[in-house]
Structure 1
Amino acid sequence: MPKMKTKSSCKKRFKVTATGRILAGQAGKRHGMIKRSNKFLRNARGTTTLSKQDEGIIKPMMPYAR
């Protein structure tokens, strides 16, 4: 059976942790920061883990990610 291909968009946007969870960048920080609260901006730094439902969508697109 041939190798399965990983979606290029997924390998650029997501990372799999050692426990198998999916890391993704925080949403909502591209523009419009003036109207957002400082608390929101502080909490939206770095990356976040996806919910179980979203993981179920992403994991099939990354067949060889740990």
Structure 2
Amino acid sequence: MIVLVVSNPAAFSGQGSIILLEYIDENAAMKAARRIAQETGRSVTVRNEDMRVIGTIPAASTR
């Protein structure tokens, strides 16, 4: 299992928000993470089942 964590630290008065998506394939998870970061302007962290970071996609500029 691979988990995507989409975070928005500015949401909810600075308390942040997290959305979790589960994937089995690491390449598919990284592709989805890049797309989510690009579309939302949020950073996305990809973690394995032990919650170790596989990769982090920085927040994309939405300007």
TM-score normalised by the chain length of structure 2: 0.21
Structure label with greater radius of gyration: 1
Query: Which structure carries more relative contact order (alpha carbon 8 Å, separation 6+)?
Result: 1
Q: TM-score, normalised by structure 1?
A: 0.21
More strand by share: 2
